[in-house]
Structures are given as structure tokens and as C-alpha cells.
Amino acid sequence: MFAIVRTGGKQYRVAAGDKIAVEKIDGEAGDTVSLGDILLAGDGGEVKSADGLVVSAEIIAQTRGEKVIVFKKRRRHNYRRRNGHRQSLTLLRILAVGDAKKAAPKKEAAPKAEAAPAAEAKAAPAEKKEAAPKKAAAPKTEAAAEAPAKKPAAKKAAPKKDA
């Protein structure tokens, strides 16, 4: 059975066992994700209803694509710009194409539970910074207080008009 799935603004034809590279999806290597935006499904030569179908996939790795050079030039204007870009990608292995009931459940992210204590640890140093007394401003010396004020800039002479 195959399906056409939309993810990251692109469409992919997938079947069980396929490996595809898609735009970055959150998750770690080994996590299971479900791709729910199915446009079309089929088995052999016949088209089936895509309602209620889910594609489950396993994240193989988070990687980056090849570098693409973006070069801009405007003739006769001494204008040249060169930039590079590497797209973040996720490598997926398709586990199954089937009903939402039969598809493998999405793994719960364990780091979320660990993220709460980390957030508390970050909040504690912020409180210490607020509790620290502020230093008093340095007193001005007499020489700085008695320094003469700057003179205003001289006025420029207005251009003369010839009659």
C-alpha cells in the first residue's frame, strides 16, 4: 500500500520500508512520528480513500542538505553578493501506511519532563541577579563639575546670490 503525504510544503509518495528526507521535524533519532496530511492512498493500481489513514515513520537522523550557493549580480553596477545556504533535513524510515488505529503510537517526549527542572534552575540565577545590590554612581570630581561648557558651533555664511 502506498500514500502521498504532504509535509514541509512538499509531497512524497511513500510505502512501508521507504526512506525519505523531509524538511526538519522536531524529534530525536529513534522517535516515532505520524504524518497525518495524506492526500491520496492506493494499493496496486486502485485508489483508496485517504480518510482516517496515518503514515507512521521513525526518525533516522537529523541532518543538513548540500550547500546551495546564492549569487546575485547586476551588470555594470559593481554589485555582487555571494551567500550559501544549507537546509535542515530529517531522514525518515516509513514504518507503516494504514488506519489511525493500527498505526504505531507517537512516543511521548521524555525531555519535556526533564525540561521543567531545568527551567526552575534557570529561574533561580535570575532571582539572585535581582537580589544583588546595585553599585552607587561614582561621585563627580570638582574638575569635571567646573569644566567650561562647549561653545556653540560657528554659523556658516550664507551663499551669496549673484543678481
pLDDT digits (tens, 9 = 90+) for 30-81: 999 999 899 999 988 889 888 889 999 999 999 999 999 999 999 999 999 9
59 alpha carbon, distance to own chain's centre:
18
Q: Where are the beta strands (DSSP E) in 10-52?
A: 10-15, 19-23, 32-35, 38-43, 46-48
pLDDT digits (tens, 9 = 90+) for 97-107: 987 665 445 55
Instruction: Please state whether the predicted TM-score (pTM) of the whole model is above 0.75.
Output: no
